[in-house]
Amino acid sequence: MGSVVDRLKSFFTLLAPPRLVSWQSMFLFGVGLWVVSAVVGLADPENVVDRYILRRVGWFFIAGGVVWRQALDPVKVLGFPIGAWAASSAVITFFFEDEARQWTQTGFILWPLLSGLLVTLSYFLSTSGHWRVPSQLERIKAIVALAVGIVLACWLKFYFVTQDWMVKYPRLWDAQIEHSSFMATLQDPRETLGQNLVSEVDRLLYRKFNGQPWPEIEKQLQQYLGDPDRIDNDLKQGSEGHSPVTIPFGSDWDVTFSVTGTGNPSYTMTTMTTWKSPLFFDNRDFSVVRVCEVTRAPLPLELFSEATQTGLLECNTSPEFIFAERKVKQAGVESPTDQPVASPVQTPDRNEAPMPVKPIAPIVPTPTVPSR
């Protein structure tokens, strides 16, 4: 207990202004304005303008106080000075905050640049507040800080550029990111589980249909249609010498299968993989629809070739599927009317939405009805 009280005491003595013109008084003034804006908001929730102005001015003073503090004595966490980052984040909150109290894109990009500039600036200021020429080592540190700031800003900018691309080509959400050497996903374990399952489904479909003779493909399709549980059993019990699919958290999952199309030019197979969340406190279901199209592969051009007609499988993860909207629609991937869940290929709102609410790649989890 004592240590907590001591820490609080030292915190307040740190914030107590030693004289009127000091960074503490500036900081406290800013905090005071901020509190006043909160009180105004409580008293009169309709009054947005006054609150907005008060908060902005408050942030301005907080930023000024933090910059002043940073210039006097850089704060270090684990030996790494963070004062510049804190100060620049305060400055950016003042200048680059939108109505929803989120940083704008420009704010994020300017953050590392501003931090680098502040680090450089702090080397030009002496503790008494006068300008000075930085020492040799400090000049090197300053140029490294600036260059690293530029690199970090470029990384953030590139991240925003990729997000713009994903808005421009919404099907990039369906791409199989794990084969890319540039992009990565930070996903929920529940969705990663489904991703493993869906890749198993993909593998089974490719094994059964890609490059197989056409009559064989039609036979397989007949079998799958005649027995709705067949694909599920193939995956769960293993088929043709392939081991059954096991996933780390139990086996509560299900795959349904349907086929549309006449076979001329193609069959469209829709598989829906549904799985339960592996977390015991979360009883939601997740599902992914994979639409694959099996077409007759082009025959070799030689007249007397003995090659037989084979099939060619394309799923909604392949690049030609992602980038060729019109071609796919002409090829006959139309919405099967009896499908309970619209597949990612056919939902027009995905293409029109400026930003999908739950953008997941490479799979499209649709949290469906919560089961009990």
Instruction: Give contact residues for other proteins (rule: CB under 8 A).
Output: 136, 139-140, 142-144, 147-148, 150-151, 154-155, 157-159, 161-163, 165-166, 169, 172-173, 175-177, 179-187, 317-320, 322-324, 358-361
In this complex, which beta carbon is closest to other proteins, that of residue 259 or of residue 312? 312
Residue in 316, 328, 345, 331 with CA at minimum distance from that of residue 261: 331
CA-CA distance, 328 to 146, in Å (whole number)?
48
CA angle at 268 for the pair 348 and 371, rounded to the nearest 5°: 65
In this complex, which beta carbon is closest to other proteins, that of residue 320 or of residue 352? 320
- Residue 228 beta carbon to other proteins: minimum distance, rounded to whole angstroms: 32
What letter would DSSP give residue 178?
A: G
- Return the residue matching tokens 């931090």: 115
Residue 258 phi, psi dihedral angles, 5° rounding: -145, 155
- Residue 39 beta carbon to other proteins: minimum distance, rounded to whole angstroms: 31
For residue 293, which amino acid is it? Answer: E
In this complex, which beta carbon is closest to other proteins, that of residue 4 or of residue 100? 100
- Residue 305 beta carbon to other proteins: minimum distance, rounded to whole angstroms: 21
Query: Counting Cβ atoms within 10 Å, is residue 43 exposed (0-12), middle (13-18) or buried (19+)?
Result: exposed
CA-CA distance, 181 to 109, in Å (whole number)?
24
- Residue 281 beta carbon to other proteins: minimum distance, rounded to whole angstroms: 20
In this complex, which beta carbon is closest to other proteins, that of residue 11 or of residue 155? 155
Query: Counting Cβ atoms within 10 Å, is residue 108 exposed (0-12), middle (13-18) or buried (19+)?
Result: middle
- Residue 102 beta carbon to other proteins: minimum distance, rounded to whole angstroms: 12
- Residue 90 beta carbon to other proteins: minimum distance, rounded to whole angstroms: 23
In this complex, which beta carbon is closest to other proteins, that of residue 128 or of residue 136? 136
In this complex, which beta carbon is closest to other proteins, that of residue 143 or of residue 279? 143
Query: 10 Å Cβ neighbour count for 254?
Result: 17
- Residue 184 beta carbon to other proteins: minimum distance, rounded to whole angstroms: 4
In this complex, which beta carbon is closest to other proteins, that of residue 92 or of residue 177? 177
Q: Which helix (H) or strand (E) holds 342?
A: none
What letter would DSSP give residue 11?
A: H
Cβ-proximal residues to 202 (8 Å cutoff; 6+ apart), any chain: 290, 315, 317
